[in-house]
Structure 1
Amino acid sequence: MRTLPWLTLFLMLLQSPAQAGDMTIADTVVKLPLAEDVTMDDAVDSMLLRANGLNFKMVARLPLSKELEAMGIESKHIEIFQFCDARIAAQMIQANLDFSAYLPCRITLIQDQDGKPWLVTLDLDKVIAMADLPPDLEELATKVRDTMMSIMQAGANGDL
């Protein structure tokens, strides 16, 4: 029986660190700190501008910390941005329905316990490596990875 890519990643995370080759949840994500002179608003503006310039549509913006505050729960800043290139998404899903679990691509703008802001996303290299894609789809997946990293780098550096 073939194991689904997302299930493989999930099962790896459930294993003890020794069983998973000392892999932790932190090993499945890419994190970039915001540069010292970049505000969270600057990061958002930069990400949205870069995504637009790369034809990657922002399909959702979830201000999770505001939702928590509305429920009376104190929270550091947590905001989730979802991006997608619908043409690439359709091709990936057509090849394998399992890819739908990874859509749309997400970047979280979050403050750690010390208040330092970070951008966090899924490490697409790990997904691509276990996906066993034909060359044309691997090229598209790599393009998505590169686009997401470009968006994150723009945000982290405040590039407008």
Structure 2
Amino acid sequence: MAFIRNALALVGLLALAGGLALFIKARAVLADLDPGAGETYAAMTKILIQTGNPAEATVWKAQVKQGLSFDDVDQAIRSLAAGMNLKDVGALPLGDQVGAMQGKPWRRLKIYLYCNPLTAAHMIDYSEAFAAYLPCRIALLEDGSGRLWIYTLNMDLLIHGGKTLPPELKAEALQVRAIMRKVLEEGAEGAF
């Protein structure tokens, strides 16, 4: 009986030591993260738990104001982006393509590709993995019930989710973030 008690005590001691080591390591890792990391991950986790959908947790979306047509919002998005010096590097009329391939109309969906080339270059100089997130995308989508939505990537994870970006790069990224939010929110209102 003493052997079992001692073995269990040893296992408990090892588990406690392992937990303490893990706690110390986690604190060290978290100390290196951007000050906004905790809030960013908490917000994403909340959405993930609510929806069970990781895509929902990583995007911003806005429902388009009632009465605006797809073409109205298309023009608003393009005008807003141009007015804020985002380079239009392409658009994908994906809904039209799906309809053509299926031989019957499908929902409206257009994906806009925008970029600030100098900021993109600075992000890639910082980490080449950022190339996978370029260019910035905005999607104008008709949902299954005919309502229009605008979606874009939630840039907070890229800005605050890891180690703090160098000050100049963070300032540029926050500026692009503000532009994307403005296109999302004002585009949904049909503003130019």
Please give the alpha-carbon distance, in whole angstroms, between the structure 2 residues aligned to 1:21 and 1:50: 30
Distance in 1, matches of 2:82 and 2:100, equals: 30
1:24 equivalent in alignment to 2:53: yes
Q: TM-score, normalised by structure 2?
A: 0.69
Please say if 1:142 is aligned against 2:171: no
Gaps of 5+ in 1: 1-11
How big is each residue's C-alpha offset from its partner over 1:97-133, in whole Å with a ceiling of 9 and x where there is no partner? 0110100000111111111110011110122112421
Q: How many residues align?
A: 144
Q: Which amino acid aligns with 1:91?
A: H
Tell me what 1:125 maps to: 156
Work out whether 1:71 is the aligned partner of 2:101.
yes
Give the percent of matched residue pairs that are identical in Structure 1 and Structure 2: 33
Matched, 1:38 2:68: yes
Hey, what's the Cα distance between the residues in 1 that align with 2:174 and 2:185? Answer: 16
Q: Which residue of 2 aligns with 1:52?
A: 82
Q: CA deviation at 1:39?
A: 1.3
Q: Which blocks of at least 5 consecutive residues in structure 2 are unaligned?
A: 1-40
- How many Å separate the matches in 2 of 1:78 and 1:131? 32
Task: State the partner residue of 2:124.
Answer: 93
- The alpha carbon displacement at 1:21 in A equals 7.1
More helix by share: 2
Whole-angstrom CA distance in 2 between matches of 1:143 and 1:87: 12
Over alpha carbons, which structure has the higher Rg?
A: 2
TM-score by length of 1: 0.82
For residue 35 of structure 1, report the CA deviation from its aligned partner: 0.3
Structure 2 equivalent of residue 106 of structure 1: 137
